[in-house]
């Protein structure tokens, strides 16, 4: 695994293998389920059978080597003035438009629009399980992609306040996921969160990162051998 985290060998193939091998549905860390302050899960108040059909959305969890070679995932910090999810940290993504050829195409388009990643540079390695977001009634399909070298990132200034690049080693560390009190306009809850770069990552984004963490536990140790062929040059 250490070699994979350093971007050595067949790291793209190792991640693709992990996504293929992880049992489905991918196990969810119970800390990620939001709870009211009396420690009761909030699931009953989001009975999906009472909702209309969810709208389709896609997101891209992109992995690439940073300047030092260590694998990194870019996250976006949304502008505080936005109507939806203002100030929150997320992966690039959004609704699947009628003009999109597929959910995968939508994820690549959104990554291009939000952080400037050219779709042709991305090798899609696989998927994680869909995540239903009750507050917006989107069903979000996460795709995992890879680029062989760090891309030039250009945040879409109307939507993205900044880009945070989280090392994969940090995400996979035992201390990465903690629990915090989260407060909003008239509500308070306890939920599992990731912290990095002064940002709090929770909700659907945290669930996607946790699924990826679970999948990475499937990485075959043989794939991490230093000096192996670097795989596809993307």
| pLDDT digit string, tens, across residues 53-81 | 999 999 999 999 999 999 999 999 987 66
Q: Which of 61, 49, 51, 56 is nearest to 139 (CA)?
A: 56
Domain range 2-224, its CATH number among 3.90.79.10, 3.50.50.60, 3.30.420.40, 3.30.300.30: 3.90.79.10
Question: 178 forms bridges with which residues in the sheet?
Answer: 193
In percent, the amount of the chain with pLDDT more than 90 equals 70
**DSSP H/E element including 123:** strand 123-127
The pLDDT value given to residue 231: 47
The pLDDT value given to residue 233: 54
Burial class (CB in 10 A: 0-12, 13-18, 19+), 46: middle
96-152 pLDDT tens trace = 999 999 999 999 999 999 999 999 999 999 999 999 998 899 999 999 999 999 999
The pLDDT value given to residue 38: 57
């Amino acid at each position: 695994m250490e070699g994979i985290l350093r971007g050595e060998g067949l790291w793209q193939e190792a991640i693709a293998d992990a996504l293929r091998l992880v049992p489905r549905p991918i196990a969810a860390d119970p800390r990620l389920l939001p709870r009211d302050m009396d420690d009761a899960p909030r699931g009953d108040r989001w009975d999906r059978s009472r909702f209309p059909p969810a709208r389709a959305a896609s997101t891209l969890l992109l992995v690439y080597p940073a300047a030092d070679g260590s694998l990194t995932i870019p996250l976006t910090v949304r502008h505080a003035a936005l109507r939806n999810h203002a100030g929150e940290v997320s992966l690039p993504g959004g609704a699947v438009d009628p003009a999109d050829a597929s959910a995968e195409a939508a994820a690549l388009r959104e990554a291009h629009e939000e952080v400037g990643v050219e779709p042709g540079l991305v090798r899609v390695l696989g998927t994680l399980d869909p995540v239903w977001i009750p507050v917006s009634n989107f069903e979000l399909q996460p795709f995992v992609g890879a680029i062989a070298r760090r891309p030039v990132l250009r945040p879409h200034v109307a939507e993205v306040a900044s880009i945070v690049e989280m090392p994969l080693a940090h995400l996979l560390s035992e201390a990465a996921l903690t629990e915090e009190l989260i407060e909003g306009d008239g509500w308070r809850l306890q939920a599992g969160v990731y912290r990095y770069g002064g940002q709090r990552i929770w909700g659907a984004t945290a669930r996607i990162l946790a699924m990826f963490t679970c999948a990475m536990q499937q990485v075959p140790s043989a794939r991490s051998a230093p000096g192996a062929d670097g795989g596809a040059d993307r």
